[in-house]
Copies of this chain bind each other. A is one copy, B any other.
Amino acid sequence: MNNSSFSIAMVERDTGLSKDVLRVWERRYGFPCPLRDAHGERQYPADQVERLRTIKRLMDQGHRPGKLLVASPDELAALTPKRSPKRTQSIKAAVDETIEALIEPIRQHDAGAYLQQMQQRLARQGLQAFVQDTVAPLTWRIGLAWEEGRIEVFEEHLYTELTKRLLRQAIAGLPPGGGTPRVILTSVSEEAHVLGLLMVETLLALEGAECIPLGTQMPLLEIARAADAHAADIVALSFSVAFPARRIPGLLEQLRRLLPDRVALWAGGSGVRKLSSTPGIEIIHDLPQTLAALADFRGGRHNRG
């Protein structure tokens, strides 16, 4: 049951490593070393796919491929908690123990318990505080657990799905929009993560902005069309930490060129941490800054050069 093998296309989809990368690694480092079928095509055993996933995860953490690919399985396992003690401490300080406890039902695959806990917190904190002080740190904590390999992909999927539902339900309960500005919320083709967008949408909707949620993975040209059709004032994009950071500036500039000047372009999410705003492109680093940017916009300070 575990002896099935995967074609290079499947491995690309399941690991996120492109065919080119898989082949060039094989050429350079000797791993992965897939079998070949009758036609000479690569057939990756399941255990090699698993190892590739681990390597990908460690790379997202900052490790170098050159080291990881020549490491033994033991060395790989030992590498996992790369985080410095100092940073671990600051994390412990920043994240309430309560948040930590919220993860438990997810790790035990108990959807009902999770939802119940969260709904209680929502009722107690109110929507804005719930988003900023519960959902945001919890999502960050889940990301950390993922980096450390302490959580499975399907557990993260379950968390995302359940939390999406909570937020959407909360948004649906708000009075309908019609206000200003009109904000399109979406992400580019490669970016599938949606929780950040939902948090922003919640905050903006609470402030009476008109939110136009287009889901994730929109082609650039379509984003431009949508901005036109909806007479949007702002296009807000989200980039998760997993998004290849070097591509973001180019993408934003390209989209900036496709949009009319009167439309503001905001980019947020953990993926833009290291960027800063340029004329016509506003980089937003955290949730409070979203509200500040909204206030700025309403104050009329959004005129471009």
Contact = CB atoms under 8 A, between A and B. Distances in A.
A160 B168 CA distance: 13
A186 B154 CA distance: 10
Contact of A215 (B10, B160, B213): B160
Contacts of A218: 153-154, 157
Given A4-B258, A225-B154, A258-B4, A176 B112 contact: yes
Q: How large is the interface on A (under 10, 10 to 19, 20 to 34, 35 or more residues)?
A: 35 or more
Interface in A73-111: 109, 111
A192 B192 contact: yes
A165 interface: yes
A254 interface: yes
Contacts of A177: 112
A27 interface: no
A133 interface: no
Contacts of A1: 257-258, 260
Query: Which of A46, A152, A157, A160 has the most chain B CB atoms closer than 10 A to its own CB?
Result: A157
B178 A14 contact: no
A178 B112 CA distance: 9
Contacts of A222: 152-154, 157
A219 B13 contact: yes
B154 A226 contact: yes
Given A6-B254, A154-B226, A158-B214, 9 more contacts: A1-B257, A1-B260, A2-B258, A4-B254, A157-B214, A157-B218, A157-B226, A160-B215, A168-B168
